[in-house]
Amino acid sequence: MKVILKRSMENLGESGTVVDVKPGYARNYLLPQGLAYEASEANLRRIEEERKLEEERSRRDYLEARRRASQIEDVSLVFHERASEEGRLFGSVSAVDIAGQLNERGMDFEVERKHVRLEEPLKEVGAYTVTLELHAEVELELDVRVERTED
């Protein structure tokens, strides 16, 4: 029996492909679980329409991420934190802090914590390069300096 996969499956194929499976597997598992459509002309057209819509949405998201990246490109952030004489902070600068300071810049969009790629919070005074991932294909480097406050 021929079916069209709704999503990629490890042993069968990619989303939108027509595969030939045993009728029992299709009727008892793939179709009831919503993992596949029966391979008919109408379903093939519907899958093609969905694929085109998904491609267009993905393209729009990519262009929006590029526009946002152009607003952030030349930004560098400076954090003034309390620190010991050796330069260790009495706290840390996290992805939330970085996103928050970017959002205070008054851009027409909001940077979320999940966009900031930070292995671990910054715990020492110094200069760092932090990666922002605004889209799967749009990343940019951000200069972040942590300075000791004079108390």
Taken in order of first residue, the domains within the chain and their CATH numbers are 2-68 (3.40.5.10), 73-148 (3.10.430.100)
Q: φ, ψ for residue 129 (rounded to 5)?
A: -115, 120
3-state secondary structure of 87: coil
Count CA atoms within 13 Å of residue 61 on its CB side: 12
Mean pLDDT by 10 residues, the chain (151 residues): 90 89 94 92 88 94 95 93 94 96 91 95 97 94 94 66
pLDDT in tens, 79-95: 999 999 999 999 999 99
Q: Residue 88 in contact with residue 124, Cβ under 8 Å?
A: yes
Give the pLDDT confidence score for residue 6 in this predicted structure: 87
